[in-house]
Each structure stands twice: as C-alpha cells, then as structure tokens.
Amino acid sequence: MSEVPAVLQEYHLRCVRCGQCRSVCPVFKEIRTETVSPRSKVFLAHLLFSGAIKADDEAASLLSHCLLCRACTVECPSAVPVHELVTAARALAAKKSPSQLKKLFYNQIWPSPARLSFSVSLFRHCQGLLEPAVSLNLLPPALSLPGRLPRRPARASLPAHTPASGKAKMRVGYFLGCATNFLFPDTARNTVAVLARLGCEVVLPQDLKCCGLPQLAAGAEKTAAHMAAANLEAFRRLGVKVVVSDCASCTATLKESFPQNGGSGIKVCDLSELLVNLMEVTKLDFKPVNKIVTYHDPCHLANAQSITAAPRNLLRRICTEFREMPGAAECCGGGGAFVLHHYDTGMAILDKKISNLKKTGAETAATLCPNCIMQLRHGLLKHGAGIEVVSVVQLLAASLGITS
Amino acid sequence: MVIKKINAGLKEIYPAGRMLTGSLEKRMYSYDSSFYARFHNFIPDAVVLPRSTAEVSATVKLAAEHGIPVVPRGAGSGETCGCLAVRGGIVLDFSSWDTVEEVDTENMQVFARPGVVHYRLNEHLAGFGLFFPPDPGSTRMCTLGGMVANNSSGLRAVKYGTTEQYVLGLEVVLPDGRIIETGGVNCRALKNVSGLNLTKLFVGSEGILGVITRIRLRVWPRPQARGLAMAVFTDLEAAPAAVLDVYQAGILPSGIEILDSSAIHAVNLYNPAINLPDAEAILIFEVNGNPAGVAWEGQKIVGIVEKRASRVEWSTAPERMAELWRGRSVVAVAAARLRPGGSRIFAGEDISVPLNRVTEALRRIKELGRQYAITVVNYGHIGDGNIHTAPVINLDNPEEVARANALVDAIHRLAIELGGSTTGEHGVGAVRNQYAVDEHGTAAEIMRQIKATLDPKNIMNPGKLLPPGEVGTIV
C-alpha cells in the first residue's frame, strides 16, 4: 500500500463520475479525450493508490496533462479536490520512476536560493545560444517563454527592511517569489514601494526559499514541505504576522502549506486582498492612470483563493476605464512546467485567451501572477497585438507616481 | 490477432492523435456514471475519435468485416453503461466532433454533429433568440448524440416533452457501413409523415441499430420570462395532489420538481445555508413564457397550491430564483451526506410511474429502503411521474453492495407493477435490459427482430437495451 493519506484515497468514492468537470477543464477543452478529463485523473489516482496499476511512463504522461488550475475542483458538485489527487498521484509516480535529473533539479537546486540563482544566471548567459536551438526545434519551445532575462534579480536591489512613508499602519513580510525575482524585478521593487507608500513597513527575509509549488506540481512533496517550514521560520524569526505577495501561485501555496506547519499564526495575503480588504485603500484618492484596462484572473487567485473582486476594485479605482474580459477567469494555459511538456496545448489555450483579450479593446491587461504575465506576453508577441500586460502593482505604482 | 488487424485498419482511417493506443488510455473509457461500471472493467480494444461520417462508415465496415463491436460514446455521463464496451470492441468517442453546422433560423431548425454539448448548443442558439427545449441535469457535459440515442429529457419535459419531439431527421451509419438520412433526404420541412418513421426508431435506440452522425433538430423561440414557486407540504400526499390541481386549472408549468423529506434533510446537511424548511415534501414549479403570462400563471399557481401547502413563495427575481433552485440543484450529490462515508449510487435512479401512482411509489420506495436497510433519497420530475431515487451506501462493503443491488431490482419491479417503466429518461443500457420482456411482452421480441434485420452480426453496441440473449452472431 502507498503512503497516500486515507482521505485522498477515499475521494474516488465521492466522485460519481458525472463528468461535469469536462465543462471547465482547459486541457480537456483542447484535447477532448476522456484521458485528459479531470474525472479520469480521479480514477487514475485511485488505480495508482490502490496498487491496481504501476506508476509507469503512461501514467506519468496522463498525470502531466493537468495545469493544476483547479477549475474542476471549484466546479465539482461532489467537492472532490481533484488537484490534490493529481499532486499526490504525481508524488507517487515520482517515487516509483524517479528521473535523476528532475530529482536533482527539484530537490537539490531549486530549494537552495544560491544554487537556483546560479542556475538562472547560467541560463541567462546561455540564452543567446539557446534561442537558435529553440527556433530549430532542437530544444523545447517553452524555453523561449521568459524572453531575455533581466541582468539582476530583484533580490539584489531590495533592502531587508523598508520603512513606511509616514506613520506605519501595518508591518508586513514580503514573499518574493522566484518568477517575480528573476523575471520581473521591477514588479518586486514596485510592490515594496507601493506597500511602503500606502503605509506598510515591509520586511524581506534574506533567507527565503521558493514557495514550493514547482516541487508539489512535480511530485516532490517532501521537499516542498521542508521549504514551507523554512519559509515559515524565516518570517517567524522576524516577528512577521502578515505575509503578502504579488504572485498568486505563491500566496495560494503558502496559504495551504503554512497552517500545516503547526498553526502558523501568520496570515498570508494576496496583494490585492491586503490592500482592498485589510487596508481599505480603495477609499483613498488615487491619481487616475489614463488607460483602458482589463483584468485576467489567475487561476491560483480566482480558483484557489476565491479572490476576484479585490483586483477589479483596485483597477476601477486607479484606471480611467475598466473593461471586463469575456472568459476572464479561464486559464491562460501557463501552468508552470505544463508548457514545457505540452507547449502546443498550452498555446492553444492561450490563443483563446488572447482572442478574448482583444475583444475588450483594452490597451492594458493587468493580472496578479508573474507566470500569467509571462504567458500572456508570449501570446501577444505571437499575435502581434499592441496590448501591454502588467502586474496590477505596476499600475498602482504609476497612479502613486512611483518610478522604480 | 483480430485486434492487430483492427488496429492496422484503424490506423489507415485515423490520423495519429485521434486513435488512442495506450492501455491506460483505453482504460479511461471503462466507466460512465453508473453504479454497475464501478464493479467491472469494460476496457475497449480500441478508441477512436471520428470527425467525419466517412470515418465512421469506414470504421463500422472494418468492425463488421471482423465481427467486433462498435460502441458510440458522448460525454460518458450516462448511468446505464450505454457507452461502455461491455463486450470489448471499438469505442467511438464523439467528444471532439462538435460542430453546429447550421442554424436555419427561417426554418426554425439546427444541424449539429453528435459531440455538441447541450448547453453549448443553447448558448449558440441564444444569439438567434432560439432554444432547444429539453433540459437534462447534465446540460454542462452531455452531448446531443447521447441525448438523441437515449431520448433524454429533464427538468422541462413536463411542458416541452422529450428529445424525440425535436428530432426532425438523422444521418445514421448503419451496421454495414451504409449511410442513411431519416426524415427525408435534404428535407427541411417541419412536418413529414411520408414513410415509416425511422427517425423515431433511432431516437432512443441507444446505439444498437447504428451510429448517429448528424442531427437535425427543431428549435423554438426562446421564452422571455420565467418565474418560480416553491411550495412546502407537511403531508407527502398533498404534493402530487397539488400538481394535479394545477393541471386541472388549465396551467402547464415548464417544470415541476419534488424533494421528499429525505432529500430536504440531505440538502440541509450538505449546505446549512440553503436552509430548506423541514417538511414532508417541497415542490418547485417553474413557469416560463412572456412576462404577463408568467405573472398571471404564477399567481394562479400560488392561489391553487396554497390550499394544500403550508407555505408558498413566488419569485421572478433572478437571485431569489437561484436561491429557491439551489436545493434542487444540489440534491443529487447532497444525498451522500445522509450517512458518513456514504456514496450516492446511480442505480434504480430513474423510474417513471403514472401521475396518480406517484405518492404510492414514493411511499413504497421508502419502505423498500427500510426493508433492505439502505438509505434512499427521492427527488425528481414529479410533473411527469419521473422519480429519481438515490440509494446511499458504503461502496467498500460487498454485503451492502449486494443488498443495494437487491433494492434496485425491487425498485425496478415496483415501477413495472405500478404501470410505469424502469426508466423515464436515462435509458436501459446494460443495467435494465433484464426487465425488457416484463415491460414490453411480445414487443420485446419485435425489438429483437428489428435489431437482427439491421444488424445481423450484432456488432452495434451489443449487450444493451434488448433482453439478454440477442439473436445474431454473439461476439
């Protein structure tokens, strides 16, 4: 018998296999075979957990067809947490057929900030060489997604402590996620500046690790748990009570992993949640940013944290015009390593998003997830539409007259 | 050996990506939503995803040549194993052939391929001010091919009838690969009584006579308004009586749903916020049409039902209607909450009885539940006597599973005894065919003969609908 918790093993009994999940799964909508439906993942997980089948390459391949967007979990009338079953099944598959390279990457390199930073820097230096190889289809096309990486990650330029401008209303710990750090250092600097301007004393622990989502998604659940414990400790040591991030995936992961590390007493907030719900900044006066803006719901914000109103309220407050996008809550197809394995499917999902984005006539698309920003920008590059994609933070910074 | 030849033949028909070859991939086609499928491994020999009539015809010819079964499949949301390869063979998954080919607004009809999902069709038709009235609970996933093959209906059958009333014609691939068009070749007329009505023969034939590859559906103008009345009864018998009162007052609601006390209890356990009143039964009437008509009928219903109900509430406000409807919409899954570790099973879930026997049926199903010591929840389309019974059992207990099977058999036999049917809208498949002779007498033999004439090799979805022991080559 496996080490899978009994509660996860029993979910297949709750699944009546009605197939309603097929109506929301972005991967199913593209591929349209039962083999990629969320319902089939519940069945597959059961077969794996019960030992009825071996975790072979075919099982791993079927399990890889999931963005972990949680649309099915939200839709399921029987409340089956499909995404948890997928990650547990992936963990089982990773144990049974371990790829040494993957193991090294997820368990040894990524959890160490220094090794990760070195690897990213190595990647950045090789980008010039990699690009031709990608265009000749010698390397996975997904490697072109991040574009040219910035020279310096955000961490190099962010202080450990940033005082509030004026009287501090709140003391917050900033969780600087990997994608924001390496891909969008401007966003990180703006997050800190915006928080400070709006009355937060911002603490950035120097020994933060990744949130652990890449590990969970790849089946390295134990490593993910160690990383969560280390991050929790880093914030505790600094006496932080509220942790905030500009990355939906990070906050979703932390919200679920911190409490499991012994009732953390730390409240994790998405940036819009903190600003709108806790600090009520929408009551303040903002200088309007002269832009027609629309909003893309990151799955890890809308599906995982049920946060949809706060970012919109912010955008309505700070931009001259807000336009709702059809299918705003549908996944953009950029779920972490998914595009590495299933680039074409990811791009087909993205194409629908871009088409919806264009329908709005907006000149700016804002969101709160660096992964989504990377994906959407990639799609817009491909489609050549003159729409900019930014974090909500960038617009907030512009409205507050912050230049980073 | 045969399978090797079949695979080689299929490879010539289908491009890579529309033929699934992995053993686990094929295993994902071993289930639908039925209780029965949970205890069997109906793994097909091959799975293909056709996107043209020519592909289907070639596939059927190949299967006929080698004498192996062909099993059409839509969303796999059925409860009868109807789309499962119970005797192996080739599964045709139509999920990816979902084109709405034409909306002929002038002639009030639509042409669609079998994989179109029901709510997608209605979403599309809404743009033309039209709709396809049958409204199954599985609207978000079920396909038109599955709906036609099972003659499905749902919440609004009381006013709009079932799928068959809307099917004007079908393109069908016969078991020998020939392609026919029922309802007239190139016909766009709404009325047509020339010839034997082959359309009606294929609607509800559950894939045993051929493969439906195109559907011509009649569509209706979309109603402009809707209202809901919720009535609470302290006496179970008062509920069906109130339904008859409404009919006798000359009103035909678009839906009449019932939740019995067990269903009410289950809903409240599932989500206390829904907070249904504690009662023996709750009825929900839906009225649709033009705004003035809806308002008039709504008031009329309230006036009539008040005489028997302890409370009636009428609303046309969208938010309130959604609240009133919530209890009905969650009951199917809420049932499982009646016992810890319980699972709701789809078996004995669809009997249909004469309107004047509904009360008796509800009482006796409860008694059967007690007799077999199994929790049952009753809800359904009381307006047309279609009762959905949800047994709640512990799936891990083989003894209880056996008891549940006995209970389900008793429920089916009860339906026949009361002058009803074992299934109102879900179909027969491989789970109710043992009752065919009891339900149909000599007519069951005629069904067998029709099948043998069209499909002498018995390759089309064998093991379904007909009484066990079909004629023809058993494969």
Which CATH number does the domain A6-96 belong to among 1.10.1060.10, 3.30.420.40, 1.20.210.10, 1.10.10.10?
1.10.1060.10
Residue B170 clears pLDDT 50, i.e. is over it: yes
With contact defined as beta carbons under 8 Å apart, do B190 and B108 qualify? yes
With contact defined as beta carbons under 8 Å apart, do A330 and A26 qualify? yes
Residue ranges per structural domain of chain A:
6-96, 101-144, 154-278, 282-399
Judge: B33–A78 Cβ closer than 8 Å, yes or no: no
Band the pLDDT of B67: cuts 50, 70, 90. Answer: very high
Residues of chain A with Cβ-Cβ distance to B23 below 8 Å are 58
With contact defined as beta carbons under 8 Å apart, do B301 and B251 qualify? yes
DSSP H or E stretch at residue B448: helix B442-454
User: Rounded mean pLDDT of B354-367?
Assistant: 95
CA distance A109 to B355: 69
User: Given this model, what pLDDT does residue B471 score?
Assistant: 45
Q: Is B191 exposed, middle or buried (0-12, 13-18, 19+ CB in 10 A)?
A: exposed
User: Given this model, what pLDDT does residue B328 score?
Assistant: 87
Residue B443 clears pLDDT 60, i.e. is over it: yes
Q: Of the candidates B28, B31, B33, which has its C-beta nearest A35's C-beta? A: B28
Residue B473 clears pLDDT 60, i.e. is over it: no
* Mean pLDDT over the full length of chain B: 95
CATH T-level assignment (fold) for domain B100-221: 3.30.465
Which CA distances in Å does B336 have to A13, A231, B375, B392?
A: 10, 39, 9, 6
Judge: A34–B140 Cβ closer than 8 Å, yes or no: no
Rg (CA), chain B: 23
Tell me the one-letter amino acid at B387.
Answer: I
Contact B338/A at CB under 8 A: no
Q: How far is A30 from chain B (nearest CA, A)?
A: 9
User: Given this model, what pLDDT does residue A137 score?
Assistant: 84
In three-state secondary structure terms, B46 is strand
Q: How far is A15 from chain B (nearest CA, A)?
A: 9
As assigned by CATH, the class of the B225-417 domain is alpha beta
Residue B80 clears pLDDT 70, i.e. is over it: yes
Residue B474 clears pLDDT 60, i.e. is over it: no
Residue B459 clears pLDDT 70, i.e. is over it: yes
Residues of chain B with Cβ-Cβ distance to A35 below 8 Å are 20, 22, 24-25, 28
CATH T-level assignment (fold) for domain A154-278: Rossmann fold (3.40.50)
Q: What is the ipTM of this complex?
A: 0.94
Dump pLDDT digits (tens) for B298-335.
999 999 999 999 999 999 999 999 988 888 888 888 88
CA nearest neighbour of B211 among B470, B456, B454: B454
Residues of chain A with Cβ-Cβ distance to B117 below 8 Å are 23
User: Given this model, what pLDDT does residue B330 score?
Assistant: 86
With contact defined as beta carbons under 8 Å apart, do A211 and A250 qualify? yes
User: Given this model, what pLDDT does residue A263 score?
Assistant: 61
CA distance A217 to A253: 11
Contact B296/A at CB under 8 A: no
Phi, psi of B53 (to 5 degrees): -65, -35
User: Given this model, what pLDDT does residue B475 score?
Assistant: 35
CA distance A219 to A216: 5
CA nearest neighbour of B91 among B145, B29, B164, B152: B29
User: For A282-399, CATH number?
Assistant: 3.40.50
Residue ranges per structural domain of chain B:
2-93, 100-221, 225-417, 434-475
A→B interface, C-beta within 8 Å: 10, 13-14, 16-20, 22-23, 32-35, 37, 40, 43-44, 47, 53, 58-59, 61-62, 77-79
The answer to whether the A6-96 and A154-278 domains have the same CATH topology is no
CA distance B143 to B117: 4
Weakly modelled stretches of chain A, pLDDT under 70: 1-2, 98, 260-263, 404
Instruction: Please indicate, yes or no, whether the overall pTM of this predicted structure exceeds 0.90.
Output: yes
User: Given this model, what pLDDT does residue A386 score?
Assistant: 87
The CATH architecture annotation of domain B2-93 reads 2-Layer Sandwich (3.30)
Residues of chain A with Cβ-Cβ distance to B49 below 8 Å are 32-33
User: Rounded mean pLDDT of B213-223?
Assistant: 97
Judge: A19–B395 Cβ closer than 8 Å, yes or no: no
Percent of chain B residues topping a pLDDT of 90: 92
Judge: B344–A16 Cβ closer than 8 Å, yes or no: yes
